[in-house]
Amino acid sequence: MAACCFRRSIASQLSKVLDLPPENLIKSISAVPVSKKRHVADFQLSIASVTEDSSSESSAQDLHLQAQKLAERTVLQQVLKDGSEYGVKSELFCTVPRQKVVIEFSSPNIAKKFHIGHLRSTIIGNFIANLKVALGHEVIRMNYLGDWGMQFGLLGVGFQCFGNKEKLKSSPLQHLFEVYVQINKEADDENVKKLAKDFFRKLEEHDEQTLSLWKQFRDFSIEEYIRIYKRLGVHFDEYSGESFYQQKSQEVLKMLEDKGLLQKTVKGTGVVDLSEKKDLSLFSTVMRSDGTSLYITRDLAAAIDRMNKHSCDTMIYVTDKSQSSHFQHLFQILKLMGYDWAERCQHVSFGLVQGMKTRRGEVVFLEDVLNEVRSRMLQNMASAKTTKEIEDPIETAEKVGLAALIIQDFRGLLSSDYQFSWDRALQSRGDTGVFLQYTHARLHSLEQMHGNEQLTDVNVACLQEPDAISVLQHLLRYDEVLYQSSQDLQPKHIVSYLLTLSHLAAVAHKTLPVKGSAPEVAQARCCLFQAARSVLANGMKLLGITPVTQM
């Protein structure tokens, strides 16, 4: 199609918004030159050329009309009408098919430390799930626990030596970790090795007493995880684990053998050849020499089982980037087995975090991090001059502190490593989660003070100041940012957008007073700040942050 046909189509649509004849607009629409840096748009509209043939008075009227209709029809009206669905109802998402998605994230190992990688997986997976749900997809949030393997033989022996049933009930994660550390000191002892091997063999043979103890480890741990995840505002639809696929992994090995994909090495291990030339230059080990399964075999069984159970359109795995080759092998083997849906599986990887320590030392459990950030935030709030009397300072400190952790984590590319800093994360000024929470609380306070004005009462022509127009124009971009994040699953686009919105709203709050302004102007400004707060809250919730109303 010729460019002029595109211009006519664009002009026809613009004429309805600008109340100008299409013929007057066609000449003002020009193709954007291709840029090596980035592709911005196909066409641009020159406002100056639209009005160059008119008198300066009518030009000004046209531009005022444009600003008024822009605000009235596409921003303020839309934000307040759509509420929490503003942005996600955009025409950008009209052609995006609704899907069923399984997202595996967090996935800690029972009895091992819940390291910072698991925290990253938890908040990243939660963000992806929130975004998918907001866009109308059906999401199954899955926690795939590390609840099987030889370490449970050692843990079982350790518990028989050092375990305490009361401590197991009251603080399972801490107690099992302590037991595991103690027994590990004796792991080289031949007698301990034999006992651990016997315990795990009994577990695999489903010995009733052994299985009962393992089940207690698992059940009590999940109960505590649920309580801790609740503090994070995270929930799961399913708790799965490697233990579920102990038997099914043997079925997978049989399938691989039947399809001629399983090869035995001289050592007796089972491998799948992944090389192009089929010369074993690249392979994946799927079976030990004694015929038992490995982690990847259980992952294969889990993927097949999930697809059979949920008939999902795609599966997303959220783990650190050190597991990238594992997932490449996993998807490749599934394809070799004839599962075309493996093409729709995705590994979202993330980088490492250095320097996250509590005052007591290295982070061991997620709860240590949550307690530390709450404690530091309470201290900061107590010493801040701007802190007001709030109903529940502990809960507020936790929500603000969590926002600080999430924003510091989400500011860059997920695959990048970064150095964690408590001081930087908890700053009240600058590009931090604390600043987002402060801005939201401030805008909420303004709403409460002046009431929630209805859009029908608002004369948007009162919003002609540059600082008001800046906020309106930024609100217009929200759907584009959501679309960008939905495409690459990177939260940094939303984070950057919300930080800019907060800075723009802070400037507008200073330069556009509500109190003391003419009633019509005050109403319009109230509406502007209400729209900014609404979009800010929507974006924060997608990131996994609960906005506070007092600070």
Q: Which residues are catalytic?
A: 112, 115, 118
Beta bridge partners of 101: 139, 314
What is the H or E stretch that residue 343 is in?
none
Contact status, residue 393 vs residue 381, Cβ threshold 8 Å: yes
In sequence order, which residues have a C-beta less than 8 Å from that of residue 533 and are 6 or more positions away? Answer: 440, 443, 444, 447, 505
In sequence order, which residues have a C-beta less than 8 Å from that of residue 507 and are 6 or more positions away? Answer: 467, 470
Strands 262-264 and 270-273: antiparallel
In sequence order, which residues have a C-beta less than 8 Å from that of residue 25 and are 6 or more positions away? Answer: 10, 11, 14, 15, 18, 45, 50
In sequence order, which residues have a C-beta less than 8 Å from that of residue 51 and are 6 or more positions away? Answer: 58, 59, 62, 63
The first and second tokens of residue 495, run together, are 């984070």
The first and second tokens of residue 170, run together, are 């009251």
DSSP letters, 103-154, are EE---PBTTS---HHHHHHHHHHHHHHHHHHHTT-EEEEEEEEB--STHHHH
Report which of 325, 276, 275 is spatially closest to residue 296, judged by C-alpha positions.
325
For the chain, helix (H) and strand (E) counts, in that order, are 22, 14
Residue 185 DSSP one-character state = T
CA distance 76 to 347: 38
In one-letter notation, the amino acid at residue 370 is L
CA distance 491 to 493: 6
The first and second tokens of residue 304, run together, are 């097949």
Strands 238-241 and 138-145: parallel
Report which of 12, 107, 20, 127 is spatially closest to residue 65, judged by C-alpha positions.
20
CA distance 455 to 392: 33
CA distance 20 to 414: 46
Phi, psi dihedrals of residue 272, rounded to the nearest 5° = -115, 125
Report which of 30, 118, 120, 19 is spatially closest to residue 72, judged by C-alpha positions.
19
What torsion, rounded to 10 degrees, do the Cα atoms 65, 71, 74, 80 define? -150
Residue keyed to tokens 């934000």: 79
